[in-house]
Each structure stands twice: as C-alpha cells, then as structure tokens.
Amino acid sequence: MSKLIENFVSKDSINQPLLIKGVLKGATDKGAPYLTITLQDKSGSIHAKLWNVSSSEEEIAKVGKVVLITGDIIEYNNALQLRIRNISPLDQESVSMDDFVMTADISKEALKKKINTAISSINNINYRNMVIKIYETIGDDFYDYPAAARIHHSFLGGLAVHITDMVKLGNVICELYPQLNRDLLIAGILTHDIGKMIEFSGPITTEYTLEGKLTGHISIMHGKLMEVSKELNIEDSEEAILLRHMVLSHHGQYEYGSPVLPQLQEAEVLYIIDNLDARLNTLETALKQTKPGFFTPRIFSLENRSFYKPKK
C-alpha cells in the first residue's frame, strides 16, 4: 500500500507510483549525468535524485507522468530527499490523478462565493464592470489554476486562494488606512494575476507556455484590460488607466518584471500584500517539511535564506 509523501520518514524504503512535477538535468564533477526530480502526490512533494541516469530512464522521467518509483528516503540538509533506485513507466490510463494532485483546502464553490462577493463590493461602476468582464472571459477554469508553477500556491485552485486571501488583507488595510481607494485596490487584487491562466499550460502539470515565456502574465493582463476597457468604451477613463497601472507595477521592481514602478498608493499596497501572501505561503510549505528545532533548506525565492522552525 502506498504511503503519502507527508508521512515519509528518514530510512523509509518505497515502491509506489508518484507524479513527476519537475525535472532538472545535471552532471557530477566527473561528468556523470543525474536528474533532480520533484515528485508529488495529493499530500505534498519531495525532491529526488536519480544518479547515473541512462537515456532510457530520461525518457521515462517526463513532467506530468505518473511513474513507479523504487527508492530510499534520506535526510539531507535537514530535509527529506528521495534517492531513486529504479524508475518504471506506468499505463497512464489506469492512473487516478486525484491521488496525485494537491488541491486547495477550500471548495471551489466557496472560492466562487468569495470572488463574487469581492466583485459586487466594488462601488465604482467602471472598476466593477472591467472586473466582471475579465471574469466572464476566463470562466470556471480560473478556479483550477495554480498561482505559480513551483514557488507559491502551486496547487489546484491556488490562484483563487491567493487572490481571495489578498482581498482579505486589502480589506483590513483599507480599514486601517481610509485614505486608500478601496475600489481600485480590490479591482487590482482581483485582476493582477489573471494573466497566469495564459502564462501557464494548465492546472496539473504546470509549465510555462510559449506566450508565457515570451511576454509574461503582466503584459498579458495589461493587454486583456485594454481589450475590456475598449469593449466598455472607457479605455480613456482614469479608472482604466489606473487599473492598468496596478497590473503593470504589481511586482514592485524592474528586476522582478514590472515595466513600471508603483506610482499610486494603492499600487504600492498591492505590491506589498502580493509579496506578503506569496512569501508566507512559501514559508508555510517549507516549514511543514522541516522538523522543529531545525532550519529549512535555503529558499531561493526568499533571497536564498534558511528559516528556523521553533520547537514550540
């Protein structure tokens, strides 16, 4: 019987199907090829090494495939890692993906209610109509998409969870700082990451599309807002221009992909709460996989820092 990844412990030996979420090729100092593979089931993921990899094994180790893995769980840098002894193909038709896909802790229906409540709470008619148009365009697929391919909220429904949690933060901040235009901030939150539905290939085996690689979700979403505002005959309105600025500046810095820096107080807040929610979700995932009293492995997206998990 298969053991869930979240229940793996050091010195376990396994022989069970797992989903390949990511594959990186490497070579040792002596030139021997190896693969670093991210494996996943519905409970979580684990990094694995396949040493001295053969060409036939490389053909088996494809992203999106469920494969039979034989190997040993070891502890490396205070985190569990899987050392693969054998990797074998499986008939994908016989696989139930429900066993291998991580999903949100909240139902799709509950997420829909939160999104609809947030949209209807926008009083400014131009902001509300632009957001409504965007959500009419994307449909129910939105509720299946992750917010990222690897880093934060990278699970089924992660994009909707990320946005609804940001709406909560936005509402609290607007209560504390009433000088903020709540309608603009909420509209910016609801639309800022929707371009990821084109940037990413799909909800389960998430890879970057050609358009995603060449243009990115910020530019994609800016284009969508241009289309929507023209359909509504408000492309020259201040609201359309401000909302486009929110999307264009939400990464906060040029080096992080924003073509412009925040020049509205609401845009600055959007950047801050987007960053906060993403970072805390990344930390939540890393700390779940870390024993109390130990540090996480270095986290690239958090300036390559390690974080300590207190004993209490």
Mind listing the pLDDT tens digit for each residue in 262-304?
999 999 999 999 999 999 988 988 888 788 998 988 888 889 9
In a domain, 311, yes or no: no
Question: Is it the case that residue 1 has pLDDT exceeding 70?
Answer: no
Q: Total domain count for the chain?
A: 2
**Residues 267 and 158 grouped into a single domain:** yes
Tell me what the mean pLDDT of segment 98-108 comes to: 83
Task: Please give the mean pLDDT across all residues of the chain.
Answer: 91
> Taking CA 289 as the corner, what is the angle to CA 39 and CA 11, rounded to the nearest 5 degrees?
70
**Residues 270 and 206 grouped into a single domain:** yes
Nearest to 53 by CA among 73, 81, 83, 75: 83
In a domain, 271, yes or no: yes
Task: Assign 141 a pLDDT band (cuts: 50, 70, 90).
Answer: confident
Last residue of a domain, one of 74, 98, 122: 98
Task: Assign 204 a pLDDT band (cuts: 50, 70, 90).
Answer: low
Tell me what the mean pLDDT of segment 221-247 comes to: 97
Tell me what the mean pLDDT of segment 57-66 comes to: 90
**Residues 118 and 264 grouped into a single domain:** yes
Cα-to-chain-centroid distance, residue 107: 17
Q: For the chain, state the CA radius of gyration.
A: 21
**Residues 27 and 76 grouped into a single domain:** yes
Question: Is the model more confident about 120 or about 29?
Answer: 120
Q: What are the DSSP calls for 219-236, one per residue?
A: HHHHHHHHHHHHHTT-TT
Task: Assign 149 a pLDDT band (cuts: 50, 70, 90).
Answer: low
Range of the domain at 113: 108-285
Q: Could you give the dihedral angle defined by the CA atoms of residues 137, 141, 147 and 151, in that order, rounded to the nearest 10 degrees?
A: -140
Question: Is the model more confident about 69 or about 156?
Answer: 69
Last residue of a domain, one of 34, 64, 98: 98
**Residues 89 and 132 grouped into a single domain:** no
Tell me what the mean pLDDT of segment 107-113 comes to: 92
Last residue of a domain, one of 48, 72, 98: 98
Nearest to 90 by CA among 71, 70, 69, 67: 67
**Residues 168 and 270 grouped into a single domain:** yes
238, two tokens: 């201040």
Question: Is it the case that residue 152 has pLDDT exceeding 90?
Answer: no
10-54 pLDDT per residue, tens: 899 999 999 998 899 999 988 899 999 999 898 888 999 999 999
In a domain, 304, yes or no: no
Predicted local confidence at residue 2, as pLDDT: 81
Rounded percentage of the chain residues whose pLDDT exceeds 90? 65
**Residues 93 and 236 grouped into a single domain:** no
In a domain, 148, yes or no: yes
**Residues 174 and 274 grouped into a single domain:** yes
